[in-house]
Amino acid sequence: MTAFLAGGLAGVSDEVTGEPYEDGSGNRCLPLLREPVLCFAADREGLAAAHRRALSPGWRSPATPTRCSPPETTDNRAAVRAVESEKLSLAGLALHGPRNSVDRAVKGLKLHR
């Protein structure tokens, strides 16, 4: 789930990823996320609360409902579109933004060990 959601962040903007790497032989490699990825553990209520806090203006946060299977399935997108935000059954959430905003969104959640 972490890798799946982090992939959603990578496409948000150029500020999220760095420059592509290139080795000494001229082989180009993909860019990486600029920021560390922190994983938090949460029950349904904690995840839903973080999602609600992250829905403030200016945020774009990939949220993955439990019904999703392959990430590019059109049926999954339609299924998500059919459910109001507060009624989504979330399996995960990825956030990117100013540190204080992210901290507020994940307030009360514990780092996953």
pLDDT tens by residue, 15-44: 788 888 999 999 999 888 888 888 999 999
pLDDT at 14 over 80: no
Q: Helix, strand, coil shares of the chain as percentages rounded to 5?
A: 35, 15, 50
Contact between 22 and 79 (Cβ < 8 Å): no
**pLDDT single digits (tens) 54-106:** 887 666 665 666 555 555 666 777 878 888 888 888 888 888 888 888 899 99
